[in-house]
Amino acid sequence: MRFKLVLVVALLVPALVISNPQIAQTAEAVDVSDINVLMLVTDGFGWNYFDTKDRFESWGVNVTTVAHSLDYIISSNPNLEPRPITAELLITEMTPEMVSHFDCLYIPSGGQWAGLIANSTVLTFISDA
Q: The domain 31-128: what is its CATH number?
A: 3.40.50.880
pTM summary value: 0.68
What are 39-93's pLDDT values in tens digits? 988 877 777 888 889 999 998 999 999 988 767 677 776 766 777 788 899 888 8
Give the three-state DSSP class for 65. strand
C-alpha separations of 71 from 56, 75, 116 in Å: 25, 10, 15
Domain assignments of the chain as residue spans, ordered by start: 1-30, 31-128
